[in-house]
Amino acid sequence: MLKIENLHVKVDGKEILKGLTLTVAPGEVHAVMGPNGSGKSTLANVLAGRPGYEITAGSVTFQGRDLLALAPEERSREGVFLGFQYPVEIPGVNNVYLLKAAVNAARKHRGLDEVDAFEFLTLVREKMRLMRMEESMLSRGVNEGFSGGEKKRNEILQMLVLEPRLAILDETDSGLDIDALKIVANGVNTLRSPERSLVLVTHYQRLLDYIVPDHVHVLVKGRIVRSGDKSLALELEKRGYDWVTGEAA
Amino acid sequence: MSSAALSKRLLDEYLAVRDSLPAGVVSAERRHEAIRALAARGLPTARDENWRYTNLRPLERARFVPAVSAAAAALPEAAVLPAVLDGFARYVFVDGIFAPQLSSPGEQTGRGLTVRHLRDTAERSTAPSGATTVRPVARALPTAVGSLPEARLALLNEAFATDTAAIHVSGASDAWQRVELIFIAAAGADAGASYPRVHLALDPGARLALVERHLSAAGGAQFVNSAVSVQVGQGAQLNHYRLQKAGVRSTWLDTLSAVLSADARYRLLAVNSGGLSARGTTHVQMAGPGAELTLSVAALGDKQQVQDHFALVEHIAPRARTEQTFRGIASGRARVAFNGKIAVGEAAAGTDSRQSLRGLLAGPEAEIDVRPQLEIYTDEVRCSHGATAGKLDKDMLFYLLSRGLSDEVAQRLLKWAFLEDVVSRIDIPGLRRQIEHDLAGQMADAASLKELL
Ligand SMILES: Nc1ncnc2c1ncn2[C@@H]1O[C@H](COP(=O)(O)OP(=O)(O)OP(=O)(O)O)[C@@H](O)[C@H]1O
Ligand SMILES: [Mg+2]
């Protein structure tokens, strides 16, 4: 599904990712953990195609194609989804309009007709119920005036409607209360399937109780310094990053 | 052409046609006064502080005489006209002259509302049959027409005017009167100018919703100089929607002067998207205590367009409120400017004014200028203003791209969102749909979805 090899990335002339290698097979869930500033969001952004990152070495292949050669909108249409750590507010752009435009962009890409308006709304409403979101949020501006937790739920709603092949969720659990965490995790789990892969960036092992990962990686200073199974997250929680950074140093 | 030579030509053109200009619209004396005052002062030049952003070159080339003859002969296709708005009486003027065959006054001229076009009334002071409450239209301004340097093009209109839409609403009532005025410029600038002219008078307590559209017959390059005067009586309410969609090769110049009495409420909303060179001047005097003005302007410029707007709000009486909103987008090589000045006089204690002016630069060669100006001569006022000009927000753009939207659609959506603060104030659903449709092509789809929810 996704193959990242020896990825080096600079931001404003400063190297942030320093030779990152990661392979995600179809159906797998990978958790990426690591201290603040270690480069987790940089990785997520680079995969989604955000401008401002200079890739100085390495490669990323997604379903056999050079992902880095695609424009951000093409990556999305090919099935890459980024759940933002800080979803931006876009007043005046209607939530439901964005959803529909996004769905239609992906459908057009696959040679399908535009989605039927009624069916679309039925689907969106169903997903909203799953995310326990007020229907009135649909007619508001994208994330406009949403609380931190509501924004994260909205990201997951978009993901559920778009049904990506690869979802990268950047700290979707941060800022969620206990109930919301379960709702979000439940939403994510409905999407798990043998054809779909997930990369979860998180600071908290609690999320991984609900969305059980196949692999856990620790990112420190732009490199994956340790990988393991779910027990690695538990151990990190107990011993802190010093444990791995100490080893890495 | 030198300014003196231009004034000379202006006078010559006036002298050549003055005898054929209808006295029922503007008396010969007033025309004379107007042309003299204008010639003496000279037409605006780029050296005048508040005209710097206007493209004034068309004035040098303009033929000022009205394009009277063309009007009747070359009526534009009905297709030019937008769909009729529910409940609105429509009056259409072609090249500044009333065109009854395109109008549909309907039942409106009922209680309290009088709409006249003054051209055919000649010098008769009697009312046309059927109308019951006709009275002479009062001079709109306590100050003389065009005495403000920025408003001097109203003098040009006064000198050459060929007709007037005179609307008078009498009597306090909770019921809203609804009128739509459509001005179509048809004759090319080489055949002369078009002079739309409107007098609005609301008696105390009266209510009027007025849609005023400025359009062009397809393809032509027209020269339009409109003048609108507005009196809102005590406690009266006027909702005024002005849509400027002149042809892309046209010159559109406009002067609106309004006086608000005590507790009057004036909601003026303008969407300016047409013309090659457009300039609007808005002068509002808050003459009565407790008057309220909401002035919202959206301007869109693309390609080589120039969209310039000057708005002066004078707080003369105490406790009046102004809310001024401007949203402008400059794409291509367009130049978009808004100069919003609020002057608070000595007697205007308790004034509350807010300005939010924002410009969006959407083209590498585009230019945008938003300027708030405050002049305060009293204490005890609350004035806030914010003015920003910048490019599309990169984070917002990336967010939309990351959801699969093309760059073009994403940009259009964000531009659309940028105008929302103004467009959302259009509370006539049919009109709002038309404008949304105009502004954003496929965004009409967003509107229809909204209704489904
Ligand atoms: N535009 C930028 N200019 C300069 N430095 C940047 C820029 N963007 C990111 N960085 C730096 O890159 C490093 C990695 O940032 P990144 O956001 O990827 O960290 P993170 O692992 O996601 O951290 P957190 O856990 O706090 O979200 C940080 O040191 C950050 O300051
Ligand atoms: Mg981060």
The string of pLDDT tens digits covering residues B84-116 is: 999 999 999 999 889 888 898 876 555 788 888
C-alpha span between A44 and A22 (Å, rounded): 12
Q: Are the beta carbons of A72 and B401 separated by less than 8 Å?
A: yes
Predicted local confidence at residue B444, as pLDDT: 39
User: B174: helix, coil or strand?
Assistant: coil
Where residue B75 falls among pLDDT bands split at 50, 70, 90? low
A11 contact B CB<8A: no
Predicted local confidence at residue B413, as pLDDT: 86
> Which has the minimum average pLDDT: A225-234, A236-245, B104-113, B312-321?
B104-113
Candidates A50, A84, A92; nearest CB to B420: A92
β A65-66/A14-24 pair status: unpaired
The residue whose two tokens read 């809102």 is B232
Counting ligand 1 atoms within 8 A of each CB, the residue from A15, A36, A45, A236 with the most, and so the one to mutate, is A36
Burial B40-68 (b: 16+ CB within 10 A, else e): eeebbeeeeebbebbbbebbeebbbbbbb
Contacts of A50 in chain B (CB under 8 A): 398, 402
Mean pLDDT of chain B: 87
Is the per-residue pLDDT at B133 higher than 70? no
Predicted local confidence at residue B412, as pLDDT: 84
Counting ligand 1 atoms within 8 A of each CB, the residue from A7, A10, A11 with the most, and so the one to mutate, is A11
C-alpha span between A34 and A222 (Å, rounded): 10
Predicted local confidence at residue B76, as pLDDT: 60
- Which ligand minimizes its atom distance to the CA of A43? 1
> Which has the minimum average pLDDT: B199-203, B230-234, B409-413?
B409-413
Predicted local confidence at residue B446, as pLDDT: 47
Where residue B217 falls among pLDDT bands split at 50, 70, 90? confident
B441 contact A CB<8A: no
Is the per-residue pLDDT at A198 higher than 80? yes
Counting ligand 1 atoms within 8 A of each CB, the residue from A38, A46, A173, A217 with the most, and so the one to mutate, is A38
Name the residues around ion ligand 2, CB cutoff 5 A: A 40-41, 85
Check: CB of residue B361 under 8 Å from CB of residue B332: no
Predicted local confidence at residue A165, as pLDDT: 97
Predicted local confidence at residue B169, as pLDDT: 94
Q: B359, B296, B347: which is closest to B322 by C-alpha? A: B296
Predicted local confidence at residue B74, as pLDDT: 52
> Which has the minimum average pLDDT: A81-95, A219-233, B130-144?
B130-144
Predicted local confidence at residue B363, as pLDDT: 87
Q: Greater confidence, B421 or B236?
A: B236
The residue whose two tokens read 């490669």 is A59
Mean pLDDT of chain A: 94
The pLDDT > 70 percentage for chain A reads: 98
Predicted local confidence at residue B57, as pLDDT: 86
C-alpha span between B334 and B336 (Å, rounded): 6
Q: Are the beta carbons of B407 and A73 separated by less than 8 Å?
A: yes
Q: What pLDDT, in 10s, does the model give residues A105-155?
A: 999 999 999 999 999 999 999 999 999 999 899 889 999 999 999 999 999
Predicted local confidence at residue B113, as pLDDT: 84
Q: B153, B96, B91, B90: which is closest to B119 by C-alpha? A: B96
Average pLDDT score over residue span A226-234: 93
Give the count of beta carbons closer than 10 Å to the beta carbon of residue A53: 18
Contacts of A135 in chain B (CB under 8 A): 453
Is the per-residue pLDDT at B120 higher than 80? no
Candidates B393, B446, B452; nearest CB to A121: B452
Using the mean position of ligand 2's atoms as its centre, give its distance from the Cα of residue A172 in Å. 10
Counting ligand 1 atoms within 8 A of each CB, the residue from A14, A18, A33, A41 with the most, and so the one to mutate, is A41
Contacts of A94 in chain B (CB under 8 A): 446, 449-450
- DSSP string covering A96-165: HHHHHHHHHHHHHHTTPPPPPHHHHHHHHHHHHHHTT--GGGGGSEETTT--HHHHHHHHHHHHHHH--S
At B326, list the tokens.
């401007």
Is the per-residue pLDDT at A33 higher than 50? yes
Q: What pLDDT, in 10s, does the model give residues A141-192?
A: 999 999 999 999 999 999 999 999 999 999 999 989 999 999 999 999 999 9
User: A206: helix, coil or strand?
Assistant: helix
The residue whose CA has the least distance to atom 31 of ligand 1 is A37
Contacts of A154 in chain B (CB under 8 A): none
Predicted local confidence at residue B144, as pLDDT: 56
Among the atoms of ligand 1, which is closest to the Cα of residue A45? 18
Q: What pLDDT, in 10s, does the model give residues A54-86?
A: 999 999 999 999 999 999 999 999 999 999 999
Neighbour-count burial of A12, counting CB atoms closer than 10 A to its CB (0-12 exposed, 13-18 middle, 19+ buried):
exposed
CA distance B450 to chain A (A): 7
Where residue B79 falls among pLDDT bands split at 50, 70, 90? low
The residue whose CA has the least distance to atom 27 of ligand 1 is A36
Contacts of B87 (CB under 8 A, 6+ apart): B178
CA distance A145 to chain B (A): 15
B396 contact A CB<8A: yes
Is the per-residue pLDDT at B45 higher than 80? yes
Q: How many CB pairs below 8 Å do chains A and B form together?
A: 97
For the beta sheet containing B367-376, the strands, ordered from the edge strand earlier in sequence to the opposite edge, are B113-117, B165-169, B197-202, B223-232, B251-260, B277-286, B306-315, B335-344, B367-376
Q: Which of A233-247, B67-81, B139-153 has the highest mean pLDDT?
A: A233-247
Q: What are phi and psi of B278, to 5 degrees?
A: -125, 140
Is the per-residue pLDDT at B422 higher than 70? yes
Check: CB of residue B351 under 8 Å from CB of residue B315: yes
Q: What pLDDT, in 10s, does the model give residues B375-396?
A: 999 988 999 989 999 999 999 9
Average pLDDT score over residue span B228-253: 96
Candidates A106, A109, A139; nearest CB to B450: A139
Predicted local confidence at residue B81, as pLDDT: 87
A40 contact B CB<8A: no
**Closest alpha carbon within chain A to B442:** A101
User: B347: helix, coil or strand?
Assistant: coil
User: B76: helix, coil or strand?
Assistant: coil
Q: What pLDDT, in 10s, does the model give residues A147-160?
A: 999 999 999 999 99
Contacts of B419 in chain A (CB under 8 A): 92
Q: Are the beta carbons of B416 and A92 separated by less than 8 Å?
A: yes
The residue whose CA has the least distance to atom 26 of ligand 1 is A36
Check: CB of residue B254 under 8 Å from CB of residue B282: no
Candidates B417, B445, B452; nearest CB to A90: B417
The pLDDT > 90 percentage for chain B reads: 65
Predicted local confidence at residue A228, as pLDDT: 95
Candidates B401, B417, B450; nearest CB to A91: B417
**Closest alpha carbon within chain A to B449:** A97
Contacts of B446 in chain A (CB under 8 A): 94, 97
The pLDDT > 70 percentage for chain B reads: 87
Q: What pLDDT, in 10s, does the model give residues B245-299?
A: 999 899 999 999 999 999 999 999 999 999 999 999 999 999 999 999 999 999 9
Q: Greater confidence, B450 or B326?
A: B326
Q: Are the beta carbons of A105 and B406 separated by less than 8 Å?
A: yes
- Which ligand minimizes its atom distance to the CA of A33? 1
Contacts of B422 in chain A (CB under 8 A): none
End-to-end alpha carbon distance in chain A: 32
Predicted local confidence at residue B124, as pLDDT: 38
Burial A68-94 (b: 16+ CB within 10 A, else e): bebebbbbbbbbbbbbbbebbbbebbb
Q: What pLDDT, in 10s, does the model give residues A7-29?
A: 999 999 999 999 999 999 999 99
Is the per-residue pLDDT at B453 higher than 70? no
Q: Are the beta carbons of A76 and B401 separated by less than 8 Å?
A: yes
Q: What pLDDT, in 10s, does the model give residues B331-369?
A: 999 999 999 999 999 999 999 999 999 999 988 899 999
Helices marked H in chain A: 40-48, 72-78, 95-109, 117-130, 148-162, 178-191, 205-210, 230-239, 242-248
Q: Are the beta carbons of A90 and B399 separated by less than 8 Å?
A: yes
Angle at B304 between CA B300 and CA B306, to 5 degrees: 55
HEC assignment per residue over B4-45? HHHHHHHHHHHHHHHHHCCCCCCCHHHHHHHHHHHHHHCCCC
Pocket of ligand 1 (CB under 6 A): A 11-12, 14, 16, 34, 36-42, 85
Is the per-residue pLDDT at B452 higher than 90? no
